[in-house]
A and B are shown apart, each in its own frame.
Chain A
Amino acid sequence: MNAALLPLLAALPLLAAATTVLLRTPLVDRILMLGIPAASTLAGILLVLHHAAEPVVAHSVGAFVPGVAIPFVSDTFAAVMITVTSFTTMIGALFLTRTGEDRLRFLPALVLMLVGGVNGALLTGDLFNLFVFIEVMLLPSYALLAITGTWRRLGVGRLFVLINLLTSTILLIGVGLVYGVVGTVTMAELVGVAQEDPRAALAVGVVLFALSIKAGVVPLHGWLPRSYPATSSGIMALFAGLHTKVAIYALYRVYAITQDGTPSAWIPLLAVVVVVTILLGAVASYGEFRIRGVLAYQMVSGVGHILLGLAIFTELALAAGIFYMAHHIITMGALLLTAGAIEETYGTGRLDRLQGLMRREWWLAAMFAVGLLSLVGLPPTSGLWGKVGLVLAAVGVGGWEAWVYVGAIVAASIASMLALQYLWGEVFWGAPQQVYWPASARTGEGPELELPETLRARAGLVAPGTILLGTSVAIFVAAGWLMPVVTRAGAGLLALAPYVEAVLG
């Protein structure tokens, strides 16, 4: 396999974005918006398969001296992330074409740029380049958030931009400080620095801090549940799958490399943060009054679950965390898209305005139910293995912290179960729905009308969510094939020699 092709994963989506700006023909827009993520998914799968033989492939972009050039690196972890994110993006894009949002001016260009940014951020082996690609990922997001969704989108767009810029600035400062202490920003040269030098640890700490804002870690999470639900379901599904997850990926990567296998002295802090995030996300989701509001807080809780792998920091824990991340991206995307089908059809996502949909939309209800099962970790869904893996890893370390982690997971599960039962009861059970608000899902305008008996969610709207849920169930069944992959991914974060070898030669 030719490593020189890696940069194309970031470059081609950007090229496609530029193309759509130049051509501006709906057909080309759609072809590219669906084709590029599809191709990227395929590339990801191929990379995963390839890494079974060669754990890490790296390429110095521009063929300059290693250490000077920006390296693009792919290992199992990165490949898995590329596959999952691209796949979710593809399905999300499909949903956008079903709602007609892809006709909004330049939306396809922005989505494609988002893909490019994500792939770049996942593959780059250079801290500053990571900053750049996160910016590439964020800029289209600013616009996507502000052009779709309800009337609140513009005001929330301001919130989103300001917070993310503050974060980016902190990230930039962090990168600067790392260079200031260590004198390099090539990740392969940062191996173990946080272990050797407390100042380096602090500099890296600034970077990790910025990343955990982007990941939505409590107490830095507030912007997430406020901003995401204000955009449209399709876009929120993209954000849920890409933004916070790329940040978490970077957290895993940077922390693992700079710690070089031995946990940090700051672990207690991390542990507290993780536990609080798990619990608060679960508890707070009961306080929301929109479907996607509840789901947004479930995302926060999910972030905590994923970071548990980092807090425990054993091979099994990292593997479990990575598996949970993949599961969470797909499940959350599925739920958001299904919720989107409801909003598009009935014109609202407010719990107090929806009821008794079970009677009309049994398939949609069944899909949503499967999604919720996956969220709380019940069979037959990917969520079960996610939870099993994390608990197994937590119990494996033993000691009191193990019981804190397990306790947090259990308590959070109960809280989530209560909140999701509330959600389910409000939306799908009870007396049949009487009225609806056509065309209000995105713009928030539209009068209350008598609900026609024949009205159902269009198949095109339900299909994307169904595909993702099918994936979740497939993951449950095929866990036997996937576990080795995530185990390899986790192992690659602890044994860094191949990574360094591949990058610096």
Chain B
Amino acid sequence: MILAMTVGVLAAGGVYLLLQRSMVRAVFGIGLLSHAANFVLLAAGVSAWRAEPLANRTDAAVAADPLPQAFVLTAIVITLAVTVYMLMLAVLGNNDDTHRMPNTGESHDE
């Protein structure tokens, strides 16, 4: 089952990037991980049936499971939203090294 390997590769890449100091790399890592998650969802629909689930074009017997597709769509959108948010965080202080607090000029008293 090749899809599982693809998932593995994406997950491995994602984890590696997530473990790096740079916020941007971490964001990329999350990106790869969510690709992996999407494939897990699609695989969960059993990839033996691959015809487009469009009632007027394909016969239900061979059509792919539409539910995971809907899940993936939702997941993709959420990932998009959070990715944009994270990129905003990454850019604060013009340095995305997560081992340092972003320098926003506020005093470091507390």
Contact = CB atoms under 8 A, between A and B. Distances in A.
7 contacts: A161-B86, A165-B86, A172-B34, A175-B41, A443-B107, A444-B107, A445-B107
Contacts of A162: 18, 23, 26, 30, 86, 98
Does more than half of chain A's interface fall in helix, strand or loop, or is it mixed? helix
Interface in A337-359: 348-350
Contacts of A172: 34, 37, 40-41, 75
Contacts of A349: 110
Interface in B74-110: 74-75, 78, 81-82, 85-86, 89-90, 92-93, 98, 100-102, 104, 106-110
A222 interface: no
B100 to A, nearest CB: 7
A155 B101 contact: yes
A445 B106 contact: yes
A166 B90 CA distance: 17
B26 to A, nearest CB: 5
B110 A444 contact: yes
Given A176-B37, A180-B40, A444-B107, 8 more contacts: A128-B74, A151-B110, A154-B101, A155-B102, A162-B86, A162-B98, A176-B44, A444-B108
Contact of B107 (A151, A175, A179): A151
B33 interface: yes
A179 B92 contact: no
Interface size, B (range):
35 or more
B108 to A, nearest CB: 6
Interface string A175-202: 1110110000000000000000000000
Given A157-B89, A166-B33, A180-B40, A437 B109 contact: yes
B40 A154 contact: no
Interface of B: 18, 23, 26, 30, 33-34, 36-37, 40-41, 43-46, 67-68, 71, 74-75, 78, 81-82, 85-86, 89-90, 92-93, 98, 100-102, 104, 106-110
A180 B82 CA distance: 26
A348 B30 contact: no
A132 B74 CA distance: 8
Given A166-B33, A169-B37, A176-B40, A146 B89 contact: yes
Contacts of B102: 154-155, 158
A162 B15 CA distance: 12
Contacts of A239: none
A11 interface: no
A440 B107 CA distance: 10
B40 A177 contact: yes
Contacts of A177: 40, 44
